[in-house]
Structure 1
Amino acid sequence: MRYAQGGGLTAERREFRERIRYEAGERFARGEKSSVIARDLRVSERSVERWRRAWREGGMDALATAGPPKLSKLSDDQFAELEKELALGPAEHGWEDQRWTLARIRVLIAFRFRIDCSMAAVWRLLHRHGWSWQSPARRAMERDEGAVGLWKKDVWPQAE
């Protein structure tokens, strides 16, 4: 199943689904049929049967949420530190241009926090905290306004 932000369910949504499973558990105890429970709770019968099997084996505790599918390797405090490091820019960390790439952020995480993670994990971490792959809105530090103005005046009209 795909989720809008790519990071799985929010805590609120996990709690909502857990309440639905608990309600189903109470109805299992009363002996109600799976088809009726599925219809009333607006879920599939297959899900209700899966929950019933878990309920039989482990009771109501088996219907509890398991939490997020994968926890981040960086704590919230560490991520705040990482954001400060990213704000300094790549040049401050030894790269020549002003572009952060997943590979560079991975190296920064390994150097700064001694945590080895894949580029996919770096992507998930950034995405979970609201970062995206788009270019920043601010201008590059290397930008030469004079050269840009000359280009717009001389080269651009010839290209049209």
Structure 2
Amino acid sequence: MGEGDLAGRGRSAAALGASNVFEDETGLSMTPPIVRTWSPRGQTTVITVRSRSRRRISIAALACYKPGQCSRLIYRPRLDTRPDGRKSFAWSDYRDLLIAAHRQLGGLIVLVWDNLNTRLIAGMRAFIADQDWLTVVQLPTYALDLNPVEGIWSLLRRCFLANIAFTSPEHLIRTVRQGLRTIQYRSDLIDGCLAETGLSLTSA
């Protein structure tokens, strides 16, 4: 499936009155992303990190678009504290996120995501098949540039997490939530992430 197929599916979704929902996930560590910043001339800014931690959080997010409505961002962060030692999202986590999105958005959802193996297992396939409100479209392989959620991650790292020395996993997750909450209230930023992909929505 190529970019033209995605655009065609988007037009079909609009004709049905469905929401176009893009999903992606990422992992963040206690080591902050480094970006350029201001400092007095001749003085190098130093960020002191207390210790190098292996602790991470995983985040799954949905960028939601529907013609005539404000774009929305729905997300779920998760610390790597699961008893079974799993660090990434399980298929049941994706299921619960989609159910929550359906409750918030109402109506039909056309979900666009990649072919991560967690999404292809029997439990996930059975869940999708049982939902008459859910249609799934697979992104082409290595097509990160077609997913607006990648833009959300870029905003989060560059504008909210950069150059911060996190003192604990809880500090990291609080900062992540604050950044994503800010983006949630800025539908223009979410729209900009879609525009960066070259994709667009039509009303019919």
Answer whether TM exceeds 0.5 for this pair: no
State the structure with more CA Rg. Answer: 1
Q: Higher strand proportion, which one?
A: 2
